Amino acid sequence: MRLLSPLEDAEAEQMFGEHTLALDAEAETHRLCSELSAAIRKRLHRRGAVVGVSGGIDSAVVLALCARALGPGSVVAVMMPEIESEPSSAQLASRLATGLGVRKELEDITAALTGLRCYERRDAAIRQIMPEYDTALGYRAKITLPGLLDQDTLNVFSLTVIRPDGSAFHRPLSGHEMREIMSASNLKQRTRMTVLYLHAEISNFAVVGTANRNEHALGFFVKHGDGGIDVNPIAHLYKSQVYQLAEFLGIPEEIRSRKPTTDTYGAPATQEEFFFRIPFPVMDLIWCGLDNGIPVAEIAHAANLSQDQVQRVAKDLDSKRRATEYLRMPAITFPAVNSASMMAADNRPRLELTT
């Protein structure tokens, strides 16, 4: 590998680096608010917005954008905790909604998930792997992927169980085992979207999604769950850019400094260890470079990584996009056959109308 000269090093740093992801947060906020208002009121013909608020950075930014675009009185923040949610999530979401002056709705979905046998189905799948697993005794579980920067590994999920004594059980999952656990867990996201549409239909509002570019493009969402929305204002923004908007919008520091989590499993799991495999600032810089045709050597230099590490991330991004393409596809429909052709092919006698 050829080393960059000091002059080339300075030029590369000036041309591509963390500054490449910098937004004009004020201009982008004004643009998104204008787009949101037009999309909801003129295209969708709805009176306002419903946002599922989790206490995380993405839903906080979207809620703030909606309040600015439509006015606080035309926005509903819905908090949907369940028995395995981190208690601070709903508390943070509630304080944010109060600060923005929007209407709040609290919907505990534990009973609905119990009725759908979400916990029962998931725990039964886990017990096929670890027979002693019992949440009543204090066992907690999560699903994770291996880190990416230090090793070249496939997207093979593992089950981690935290025993009551604090010790951990860890084992890779087969495809079938993973699907059994994940399909049951996805009932949480699909139940939340059902609740959001309940509130949206009551008020003739639109459901506004909260997935950023990392989540939308790589498939970190549930089809007809948190992916079942009417409009998504931040699907084009890298996660690090969402933080830039959050600072401009005045999102409280307690939300901005909170580590992004899945808040889906009993054991705490960050989004990085569950799905993305690398820190967001590193991923965003590499992804931005790849999107803009920056040579791998320059990306590696800017990210302080080896070229092998950058290539590894590029491969993982491409793999995730291809594997989750079906999540972003609309329902497949089939074209109608020309009615004249159908009649010509059908020789049965036809009823003729007479006057």
Complete domains list, the chain, with CATH: 6-324 (3.40.50.620)
161 phi-psi bin (left φ>0, alpha ψ -120 to 50, beta other): beta
pLDDT over threshold 90, residue 28: yes
342 — pLDDT class (breaks 50, 70, 90):
low
Average pLDDT over the chain, rounded to an integer? 91
pLDDT at 1: 32
pLDDT in tens, 188-226: 999 999 999 999 999 999 999 999 999 999 999 999 999
pLDDT at 151: 73
pLDDT in tens, 45-91: 999 999 999 999 999 999 999 999 999 999 999 999 999 999 999 99
283 — pLDDT class (breaks 50, 70, 90):
very high
Over residues 291-315, mean pLDDT: 94
pLDDT at 265: 86
Strand pairing class (158-162; 168-172): antiparallel
Q: Which pair of structure tokens corresponds to residue 22? A: 């910098």
Over residues 11-15, mean pLDDT: 57
Strand pairing class (49-52; 75-79): parallel
pLDDT at 215: 95
Over residues 160-170, mean pLDDT: 96
Distances from the Cα of 151 to the Cα of 302, 309, 317, angstroms: 20, 9, 15
CA angle (278 as vertex; 93, 252 as ends), nearest 5: 25
pLDDT at 6: 46
pLDDT over threshold 90, residue 14: no
pLDDT at 301: 95
pLDDT over threshold 50, residue 173: yes
pLDDT over threshold 50, residue 271: yes
- C-alpha 51/C-alpha 23 separation (Å) is 24
Distances from the Cα of 334 to the Cα of 123, 180, 327, 331, angstroms: 39, 31, 19, 10
Q: Which pair of structure tokens corresponds to residue 98? A: 């109060």
Over residues 36-42, mean pLDDT: 98
pLDDT over threshold 80, residue 330: yes
Over residues 165-172, mean pLDDT: 95
Over residues 141-162, mean pLDDT: 86
Contact 170, 188 (CB under 8 A): no
- C-alpha 105/C-alpha 120 separation (Å) is 27
2 — pLDDT class (breaks 50, 70, 90):
very low
pLDDT over threshold 70, residue 4: no
